Structure 1
Amino acid sequence: MASALEIVRVDPFDDTAVDAWWQAYAVAKRADMGEDALIWTRGEARAELQQRSATTERRAYLALGDDGAIGSGSLALGLKDNLHSGAIGVTVPPQFRRRGIGSALLAHIEAEARAAGRRTFRAETAWPASAPADGSGEPGREFARRHGYEIALGDLQNKLALPVSDAVITSLLADAPADGYEIRGWVGAVPEEFVADWAALDAILDTEAPTGELDMEASSADVDDHRADEELQRRQGRTSFGVVALASDGRIAAYTQIVVSSDDGNAYQWGTLVRREDRANRLGLRIKLENLRMLQQHSPDTPRIYTYNAESNRHMLAVNTRLGFVATGRLAELQKRV
């Protein structure tokens, strides 16, 4: 272990500490995933840490040693739901690995989670598509295995190079007519007439989509909480593109969202969900195509879209394949019960 290891809680309003915390995180992620490392930018991460959220308490930790900042960690605690669990992150730049720094960080954060009454710990680790499918030999996967974290759900990271030609989009739209549904889309905040339905669908995304062995419950469907998240996105410089399919009664039958980062220029596919009673109508394909077309109209310089999907979600993976997404990595959603 490093000779003078100290683990400190990061003050989100201390720019020097946040910069050191973020730098350790970013270097570690890039070492593991290369150009396809999906990293929240410094400004985005700072804005999230500083948010006074009613739904999530976020903590950041910095490991300090003789060489300065030698590791970083995080803990997210739900305040309205999933009160039994905590989401833990540990990152150590490659030049400081195998010194016990990651283990010390993890033990410290797990103790904080237990003190908050949490007994299920969640974490993530990623590896490139060129690595073994089960992550064997990859540093994050092996670290997790040594500390009792098992894969609860395996996801594929996929990338779509933009633009996709209008001809391809039009051809695919012909296979998803969405008869009986009205398609609506917008840039920015969800319109007031749809926000309650949107928040309700978004809240059950993590439990309606494949969850594997993950021990989690639906998140808050409170409209005020949703608006607070939209305000965070605004402060982060992110732009949201939303599309819904409306059933004959005016309710949202399906929704999808793409978010563009003004910092790194990339687009990220966030939630896509079709209500159970409206499935098998190719609504998922239709709304994703409409959203892609809207993104290219309003943000023509966006170079690519990244997305994650559970490997078991064959339907959505098939939709993404038809759109032209290619696999760039794998993400393991990890879990440990204590």
Structure 2
Amino acid sequence: MPHTPLTITRLVVPAELSDDNAAEFRACAELNRLICDEQVGLPDLAPSAAQMLPSWSDNTDSVDLGFVAREGQQIVGMVTMSFAQEAEARAAEVDLLVPEATWGHGVEDALLARAETEARARGRSLVQLWSLHPPREQQQMLVPRTGWGRVPATPLSDLLSSNGFTLEQMERNSKYDLQSDADPVRETLAEAMMAAGNDYEVVEWNMPTPPEFREGFAEVLARLSTDAPSGDMDFAAQNWDAERVVRREARLLGAGQAVSVVAVRHVSSGALVAFNELLIGADRTSVTHQFGTLVSKKHRGHRLGTIVKCANLLRWRELMPQSPVVSTFNAEENRPMLNINEAIGFRPVSYAAAWQKEI
């Protein structure tokens, strides 16, 4: 029987998910969900098509695109790409979506090659990609260049290693049971508030961010690209202002999502110096995802990370009582943040490995 040739075409991004041309985009979200389930048993790590579309429709701060691989009419894989729009950005961020049923027949090689070609065409000199790994030991274990963490090898990590990618960093994915006893969180928060003293105060809001906080929130969001541990992954410093905060929140809230923000303000300067975000999709019974969490470098050591995490978890229980768990990712070398997570009940459920390649 003759082999059906592989074709790769640009992913169609619809204006609305109800449009006649939305089938590919919906399939992309479902494929991502399938692969998260196959790789680590956590399909909810993948955003829905409704959650994806607002970001893909707004190219102001990041350009998103994808390619679809088919054999005949059957979709056998996809690759998505994201290009930060800062002038200094060198990297293309890539997500390779090839399920177990079609892996090993050249689909993944063709899509990875197509992504590298597109990155070069857009003037990028780096490709970055993340692989998911279950929390288990096996004969072949991988350790990143940071030296922090270890994960079992997978077909995707084998592909990346053989194609010149370097394993730079490991992130731990942890979950917190929102239906568990909240007393340990309350006690930890009270202790942290005592340690921080009167130099700091907690502020909180539901997105959209109130106008009086937008500039300050923009400043602390900008530090995520420079202050968060990232090993040798090359991330351009992001440029933030109040207008970008508004754009970001329109993308987040446009899909029916809800976001709670708890921040800490330095009383004498008035600056926001720490924050934590919790996000849930339109289905309020679904998994909650922690988005940004950061403490500004010069304000570390005052237990502000503990304050924003604990205060937001307690707030979230009141806002979203039907959500079962919070899922979060943290760099393995970020021991202070992992200490906080472990102390209040987060438990590791999967890992993400960060890969990088000069092209």
TM-score category (smaller protein):
over 0.9
Aligned pairs for 1:137-216 (under 5 A) are 137-177=153-193, 178-180=196-198, 181-216=200-235
Question: What amino acid does structure 1 have at the position aligned with 2:298?
Answer: E
Question: What amino acid does structure 1 have at the position aligned with 2:350?
Answer: G
Distance in 1 between residues matched to 2:3 and 2:254, nearest whole Å: 37
Distance in 2 between residues matched to 1:81 and 1:124, nearest whole Å: 23
The 3-state SS of whatever aligns with 2:68 is: strand
TM-superposition CA deviations, 1:135-173 (whole Å, max 9, x none): 443122112112111111111010111134342222112
The 3-state SS of whatever aligns with 2:219 is: helix
**Paired residues, what number?**
337
Distance in 1 between residues matched to 2:137 and 2:242, nearest whole Å: 42
Aligned pairs for 1:103-114 (under 5 A) are 103-114=109-120
The 3-state SS of whatever aligns with 2:187 is: helix
8 Å contact from structure 1 (residues 22, 72) kept in 2: no
Query: What is the aligned partner in structure 2 of residue 299 from structure 1?
Result: 320
Counterpart among 92, 102, 125 of residue 98 in structure 2: 92
Question: What amino acid does structure 2 have at the position aligned with 1:43?
Answer: A
Counterpart among 253, 265, 287 of residue 246 in structure 1: 265
The 3-state SS of whatever aligns with 2:211 is: coil
8 Å contact from structure 2 (residues 260, 316) kept in 1: yes
CA gap 1:321/1:36 in 2 versus in 1, 3 angstroms = farther
Q: Which moved more, 1:125-134 or 1:170-179?
A: 125-134
Query: What is the aligned partner in structure 2 of residue 80 from structure 1?
Result: 86
Are positions 1:265 and 2:286 aligned together? Answer: yes
Distance in 2 between residues matched to 1:82 and 1:58, nearest whole Å: 18
CA gap 1:83/1:291 in 2 versus in 1, 3 angstroms = same
Query: Where does structure 1 lack aligned partners over 5 or more consecutive residues?
Result: none
Q: Which moved more, 1:300-309 or 1:11-20?
A: 11-20
Report deviation, 1:191.
1.5
Report deviation, 1:28.
2.2
8 Å contact from structure 2 (residues 257, 280) kept in 1: yes
TM-superposition CA deviations, 1:185-231 (whole Å, max 9, x none): 11121121111111111122132011111112221212212211100
Are positions 1:255 and 2:275 aligned together? Answer: yes
Report deviation, 1:24.
2.8
The 3-state SS of whatever aligns with 2:95 is: strand
Are positions 1:236 and 2:243 aligned together? Answer: no
Counterpart among 70, 75, 85 of residue 69 in structure 1: 75
Q: Which moved more, 1:76-85 or 1:318-327?
A: 76-85
Question: What amino acid does structure 1 have at the position aligned with 2:125?
Answer: R
Distance in 2 between residues matched to 1:314 and 1:235, nearest whole Å: 34
Identity %: 24
Distance in 2 between residues matched to 1:166 and 1:56, nearest whole Å: 38
Distance in 2 between residues matched to 1:164 and 1:37, nearest whole Å: 20
Distance in 2 between residues matched to 1:246 and 1:335, nearest whole Å: 36
8 Å contact from structure 2 (residues 5, 71) kept in 1: yes
Are positions 1:40 and 2:58 aligned together? Answer: no
Structure 2 length normalisation: TM-score? Answer: 0.89
Counterpart among 335, 355, 359 of residue 314 in structure 1: 335
TM-superposition CA deviations, 1:260-289 (whole Å, max 9, x none): 122471111111111222111101101111
Report deviation, 1:101.
0.2
Question: What amino acid does structure 2 have at the position aligned with 1:28?
Answer: I
Query: Where does structure 2 lack aligned partners over 5 or more consecutive residues?
Result: 15-20, 143-150
Q: Which moved more, 1:62-71 or 1:135-144?
A: 135-144
Report deviation, 1:70.
0.3
Report deviation, 1:45.
2.1
CA gap 1:28/1:145 in 2 versus in 1, 3 angstroms = same
The 3-state SS of whatever aligns with 2:310 is: helix
8 Å contact from structure 2 (residues 264, 273) kept in 1: yes
CA gap 1:82/1:136 in 2 versus in 1, 3 angstroms = farther
